[in-house]
Chains A and B, each alone.
Chain A
């Protein structure tokens, strides 16, 4: 059974870049999409975008100018970079798998809290 695990620095200073990694284990993600979703404290879920295993991406227009996804297929690792962060980017960040043409996110990571503060 595939498992996803997010990791990251926990604390980032305003105006800097937040980098998070999603490591996939226990199964192949070949051919699948990997979505990033975040939940601001006390608020709902926001889809940030997804990256295909081949590297193709689709970003939410609300964050498109500041976010970049990448994938290292040799390590089964996916990376999110969010530039010029502010306190409004403080959130729990999740990664989740989507099988192509399935239209749902069937496996999720535990989530990692990223706090933006000086």
Chain B
């Protein structure tokens, strides 16, 4: 079993829909949780990060962490075609915060 599980998709939704992207993990020591967005033929870019549990909102994006269930989510409201990309979750322990454990990435397609 991988430390971080993420459905590779693709996930295809119509423009304007609410998108939910998820990752599960097995290591209870993870404290930092990140979402990266990767456009085709580009490097990943940090979208959002949270520490420990709770929610964090940034515009149309909301990151949610449920440590009791070892489950993290990224919600995108009013999705746009420009949101079409691969979304990777990444996590780390506090003492080795350079060592990110990556999900496989979910390919998201927003249909106009």
Q: Do A and B bind each other?
A: no
Residues of A within 8 A of B (CB): none
Residues of B within 8 A of A (CB): none
